[in-house]
Structure formats: structure tokens, C-alpha cells
Amino acid sequence: MTKNSTAVAERHTELVSIGDGIATVDIAPAAGGALASYRWWHDGSAVDWLRPADAAAVSCRDAGAMACFPLVPYSNRIREGRFEFAGRTIQLPTTADDPHHEHGHGWRHPWTIVTHEASTVVLRYRHAADSWPWSYEAEQEISLADGILCMTMMVRNLSDAPMPVGFGLHPYFPSTPWTHVQAPVSGMWETDTEVLPTRHVLPPAGADPSIGFDVSEVDFDTVFTGWARRARISWPEQGRQLDIEAEAPLDFLVIYTPPGEPFFCAEPVSNITDAFNRMRDGIDTGCIMLAPGQMRSASVRFTPSLAV
């Protein structure tokens, strides 16, 4: 992570911005360390590459209504918020609206600003052991260069015992009737009514991300496996596209396409849904084991382009 070259004291504010002359990114540290927008300015008009948050979402610190939020210490759901690890039962808090403690802690808490420069910001979240019986810290480095957004996620185990972990990003993209997604994958997880994995199968023939699909024609809330860590989103009627490139261990892609909504999600993540419970099944869950003091990190690059 970038050193604190500007000696900014750790703090959080409602909205901070970075820019590089081509793009601007607004970040809401208090709203789960989420991005509020990522846009280019072209011929005097804004081009939003992520779904922008409105003023109400920023004011209410609603990470789920933002442009992108961090996933830590795991992606997606843990069945009933409960799993067994190292001979003990871990029970996370659940509610009727959140029965599987979805997406962990990062998006639920403020992050502090470690560094804020013209085109780079570094945010940090520290978690003290509670129902999640490990202390850890996570950082996001968010930077712009030539209009390209790069986000690096890091998580470090601060406890004195091994910790299971997963991480990733949850970006929201604008959806139009012609929005198209293409991403090389080899399989996917079918789910039950709780959106928890049941069976590993081949992608559907009529909506295989490897071939590509129109967002308006599918209904996914799905973990795809064998992801090549790259994807392309195109808006052909607007003459623009966005390439996504992720690093290992972000080896899974979650695609969420809620029907009738003006957005969809394509989430680079390191673990399948309910990974900690599925480890005993002898399958590749993507679960990472961090020894005390150990860390893992990965970057995701978002590279936009406009037709000339």
C-alpha cells in the first residue's frame, strides 16, 4: 500500500474526490469505504462507468446504494451466519432482512483515510474480534491514471490464530436494454431459494458469459467459476465499453442482473458463496487461510473506452 506521503491524519469524511484530468472518483469513507461515482468528462458531459450514488445515499451512508463497495472478510452469504472452524462454532449476527450476514463487515462500517493525494486515496478498516473471533485490518488503495481506475484490496490477520478469509469488490454498473457482458468462465453454482450454492454445473447454453449475453435477457444471482479474471462490458448504443482485469486470488465472478433494474453487478471475488461451510466438501471454495500477521492483496483495473 502507498505510504502516507502527505501525512494526512486518519479520519473519515462524507465525500472525498480524486481525479487525473480525464476521470474523477468520489469516495464515501463513512459509507463502508464505498465509491460514490467513477466518471469521465467528455465534451462537457459526464460519462458514468459505475452507477452513481445520489445525495440521499451519501447522506444516509448507504453502501448498498453506492457505485462500488468492498467485500471483507468474505464475499456473499454464510448460511444462517454460522460455520465451524478449528473445533468451534462461529455465529455471526443475523436478522430477518439479513439472514446470512451477507458480505461481511467492511461495507457496514466507516473506513478512515490514510492518504489522500490528487489521484490516489488509501482507506483503512480495522476490525476488533467479536462474533467474528479474529482481529484484522483491511485497506483499499484507489487510484486513477489516464482515466483508468485501479483498486487494490488488502486484508491482514491481526489475531494470534489462523483466520479464514475472502475478499473482493461489489461494483454496480449502469444497465440499458443493450448492455452486453462477456467474461471467460468454465462453470457456475446453481442455488437454492436462499441464493446459496447447491450444485456445480456448466453455464447455460443460451447465456454463457464466455460467449456473452445481454443483461436485459438474463436473471442471474450467480457465482461463476473458472473465471479468467477478465471481463468486458459494452453499451453499444452509446459507443462505449469497459474492460475489467483482476489479479489472483480473485478467481470467481459473481454476476447479479435483477430484472427491471437500471443496474447490474459483476463482482471479482476470491471465494464462492458459503465458502467456509463448503470447505469440508472437498471442493474449491477459494477460502484463504491467513496465519497470524499474514496478508493477501489483489488489484482490479477498470479500463474504459469510447468510440471515436
pLDDT in tens, 11-59: 445 899 999 999 999 999 999 999 999 999 888 889 999 999 999 999 9
> Residue 8's pLDDT is what?
40
Q: Which of 88, 257, 268, 43 minimizes the C-alpha distance to 168?
A: 268
For residue 230, is it within any domain?
A: yes
Backbone phi, then psi, for 108, in 5-degree steps? -95, -5
Q: Identify the domain containing residue 205 by its residue range.
A: 16-306
Residue whose C-alpha is closest to residue 133's, from 262, 276, 266: 276
pLDDT recorded at residue 217: 96
Q: Around Cβ 87, how many Cβ atoms within 10 Å?
A: 5
Determine the Cα–Cα distance for residues 7 and 135; give it in Å rounded to an integer.
Answer: 25
Q: Please state the φ and ψ torsions of residue 213, each to the nearest 5 degrees.
A: -150, 155
How far, in Å, CA of 196 to CA of 185, rounded? Answer: 19
Mean pLDDT (whole number) for 168-183 = 98
Q: Is 69 a domain residue?
A: yes
The pLDDT tens digits for 115-162 are: 999 999 999 999 999 999 999 999 999 999 999 999 999 999 999 999
For range 97-103, the mean pLDDT: 98
- Residue 120: the pLDDT is 98
pLDDT(308) > 70: no
| % of the chain exceeding 70 in pLDDT | 95
Q: Tell me, what's the pLDDT at 13?
A: 54
> Which pLDDT belongs to residue 41?
86
Average pLDDT over residues 277-284: 91
Residue 29 lies in a domain: yes
Flag whether pLDDT at 210 surpasses 80.
yes
* Distance between CA atoms of residues 184 and 201, nearest Å: 15
**pLDDT surpasses 50 at 215:** yes
Q: How confident is the model at residue 282 (pLDDT cuts 50, 70, 90)?
A: confident
Is 127 within a domain?
A: yes
Contact at 8 Å (CB) between 172 and 267?
no
pLDDT tens digits for range 184-200? 999 999 999 999 999 99
Residue 286 cell numbers, joined: 477459494
Q: What's the pLDDT score for residue 3?
A: 42
Q: Answer whether residue 9 is part of any domain.
A: no
Mean pLDDT of 270-294: 96
For 15-119, where are the E strands, in sequence order? 16-19, 23-28, 34-42, 45-48, 68-71, 82-85, 88-91, 112-116
In a domain, 4, yes or no: no
> Which CATH number is 105's domain given?
2.70.98.10
**Whole-number Å distance between alpha carbons of 238 and 250:** 29
Residue 231 has pLDDT above 90, yes or no: yes
How high is the pLDDT of residue 57? 94
Residue 1 lies in a domain: no
Residue 150 within a domain: yes
Check residue 303 and give its pLDDT: 98
Residue 2: the pLDDT is 43
Domain count, the chain: 1
CB atoms within 10 A of CB 194: 13
The 3 state secondary structure assigned to 67-91 is CEEEEECCCCCCHHHEEEECCEEEE
Nearest C-alpha neighbor of 182 from the set 251, 259, 260, 235: 235
